[in-house]
Amino acid sequence: MPGLVIKPRSRIFHGHDWVYSSEVKKAFGDPQPGDVISLKDFKDRPLGSAIYNPSSQIVARRFSRRKQELDHEFFIRRLKLAFSLRDRFSVDPKLCRLAWSESDGLPGLIVDCYGKHLVVQTLTLAMDQRIDLIAEALKELLAPETIILRNDSPMRKAEGLEPENRILHGSDPGPVPLITGGLQFEVALLSGQKTGLYLDQLDAYKRVARLAAGKRVLDCFSNQGGFGLACAKAGAAAVTCVDISADAVAAVKSNALRNDVEINAVEANAFDFLKSCEEHYDLIILDPPSFTRSKKTLGDAMRGYKEIHLRALKLLDPDGYLSTFSCSHHVTRELFLSNICAAAVDAKRTLRLVESHAQREDHPVLPTIPETEYLKGFTFQLLPGR
Ligand code: SAH
């Protein structure tokens, strides 16, 4: 098998599975893009099998410590392992992320389940080349009605892959009705944001909504209103959802009707909305998109967070709650927390931590691959009487 010799002190010797181009000592046997290759250390000892893409900065991603092909049997075995983990969780196995890339030993492969429909993404060249094998394995294991390929993630660019959305099996199911946490949604799997719903946030809706009864709630960056709807259902006095996308605002409105709740859905830039808002709230939720995908723009991202934190704190009434989330991997939990603290200092408010949030358990974290952890959040209460 062709492969790469890895330089000493590379991250793979510290439990990571990625090899950056700067960590390659030399290639042997002429590996081709998308191939399965073997990795070796500088003393010729085997480190396992990896997928190869010389046009990515991450030239190799290890998926096994042994010699292993990416064949039908492999996909069946790894997918079964991924599914069996979800079966043990408290997540609904019919509405969850069934396979998540490195965290399931399938680098670059994502499989989301929406009832009878599966939505698949391939974010690495090797997985992309084997999409038919993957679809066959999924059909064999789950007999889904539909398999949709949702390959419009910007991450594909880093692997030299073009966007591509299409049906792999079955036909376009159109709008798919879903029920989760007592809420009804309708998702367009072929065209909605992400792969339909924000599965990573489903638990957080419930947890935040516990605070909502009788409160005036503002859900900023609401997308189709997951937080706002849960709060309205939990008995909020009033709910406003703000999103910049007209489609998202239309979805909030139809979801409100569907769930028989009232929501004021506003199409606006949340930065401008928070700046010019004259109303006060008892619970504000901030769940913006990733403000940075690289370390280079981290400073700008932190300024963005500081601004929305500061403005939100000023709009909260005494003893109000703030639930704030960041889905940028580069914004660590500690960094995010210190950003909120700095905003609280400027706003002359004292915060009490009520709850920490994380990505749902169907998006598991590998501590030796820090990139698998991305979503973090906190709910604070303004310390009453201060
Ligand atoms: N809370 C949502 C997910 C939010 S995703 C949920 O759980 O479903 C981020 C959302 O922010 C997207 O819907 C996007 O349209 C919106 N968005 C991006 N930039 C924005 C801005 N400047 N102002 C308001 N909304 C914005």
List 186's β-bridge partners, or say none. 177
SS3 string of the chain? CCEEEECCCCHHHHCCCEEEHHHEEEEECCCCCCCEEEEECCCCCEEEEEEECCCCCEEEEEEECCCCCCCHHHHHHHHHHHHHHHHHCCCCCCEEEEEEHHHHCCCCEEEEEECCEEEEEECCHHHHHCHHHHHHHHHHHHCCCEEEEEECCHHHHHHCCCCEEEEEECCCCCEEEEEECCEEEEEECCCCCCCCCCHHHHHHHHHHHCCCCCCEEEEECCCCCHHHHHHHHCCCCEEEEEECCHHHHHHHHHHHHHHCCCCEEEECCHHHHHHHCCCCEEEEEECCCCCCCCHHHHHHHHHHHHHHHHHHHHHEEEEEEEEEEECCCCCCHHHHHHHHHHHHHHHCCCEEEEEEEECCCCCCCECCEHHHCCCEEEEEEECCCC
Q: Is the CB of 222 under 6 A from ligand 1?
A: yes
Q: Which tokens in the block code for residue 94?
A: 């019919």
pTM of the model: 0.94
Q: How far is the CA of 250 from the centre of ligand 1 (A)?
A: 13
pLDDT score recorded for residue 193: 55
Does position 96 have pLDDT exceeding 60, yes or no? yes
Mean pLDDT confidence for 161-165: 96
Catalytic residue positions, numbered: 327
Residues 51-81: tens digit of each pLDDT = 999 999 999 999 999 999 999 999 999 999 9
Percent of the chain residues past pLDDT 70, beyond the cut: 99
- Category of 259 on φ-ψ map: left (φ > 0), alpha (ψ -120 to 50) or beta: alpha
Return the ∠ at Cα 336 (arms to 333 and 340), rounded to 5°: 135
Q: How far is the CA of 366 from the centre of ligand 1 (A)?
A: 27
List 380's β-bridge partners, or say none. 322, 353
Q: Distances in Å between the alpha carbon of 219 and those of 236, 257, 286, 370?
A: 12, 17, 6, 29
Residues 34-47: tens digit of each pLDDT = 999 999 999 999 99
Q: Which is the closest atom of ligand 1 to the Cα of 224?
A: 8
Does position 254 have pLDDT exceeding 90, yes or no? yes
Q: Which domains does the chain have, with CATH numbers?
A: 3-64 (2.30.130.10), 72-176 (3.30.750.80), 198-382 (3.40.50.150)
Does position 30 have pLDDT exceeding 90, yes or no? yes
Residues 202-237: tens digit of each pLDDT = 999 999 999 999 999 999 999 999 999 999 999 999
Residues 281-321: tens digit of each pLDDT = 999 999 999 998 888 999 999 999 999 999 999 999 999 99
Does position 385 have pLDDT exceeding 80, yes or no? no
pLDDT score recorded for residue 361: 96
Q: Is the CB of 203 under 6 A from ligand 1?
A: no
The amino acid occupying position 269 is N
Half-sphere exposure of 288 (CA within 13 A, CB side): 17
Q: How far is the CA of 353 from the centre of ligand 1 (A)?
A: 24
Residue to mutate (ligand 1; options 186, 223, 272, 374; most atoms within 8 A of CB): 223
pLDDT score recorded for residue 355: 97
Question: Which of 93, 71, 95 lies closest to 82 in space, CA to CA?
Answer: 93
Q: How far is the CA of 60 from the centre of ligand 1 (A)?
A: 33
pLDDT score recorded for residue 141: 98
Rg of the chain in Å (alpha carbons): 22
Q: Is the CB of 226 under 6 A from ligand 1?
A: yes
Question: Which of 148, 150, 224 lies closest to 180 in space, CA to CA?
Answer: 224
- CA-CA distance, 133 to 79, in Å (whole number)? 12
Q: Is the CB of 201 under 6 A from ligand 1?
A: yes
Question: Which of 208, 219, 216, 272 lies closest to 242 in space, CA to CA?
Answer: 219
pLDDT score recorded for residue 196: 72
- CA-CA distance, 377 to 125, in Å (whole number)? 32
pLDDT score recorded for residue 194: 52
Percent of the chain residues past pLDDT 90, beyond the cut: 93
Confidence of residue 195 (pLDDT cuts 50, 70, 90): low
Average the pLDDT over each of 86-95, 192-201, 267-276, 366-375 and give the range with the smallest value.
Answer: 192-201
Q: Cβ neighbours of residue 88 under 8 Å, at least 6 residues apart?
A: none
Mean pLDDT of the chain: 96
Mean pLDDT confidence for 173-189: 92
Confidence of residue 384 (pLDDT cuts 50, 70, 90): confident
382 with 320: CB under 8 angstroms?
yes
Query: 18: exposed, middle or buried (C-beta count within 10 Å: 0-12, 13-18, 19+)?
Result: buried
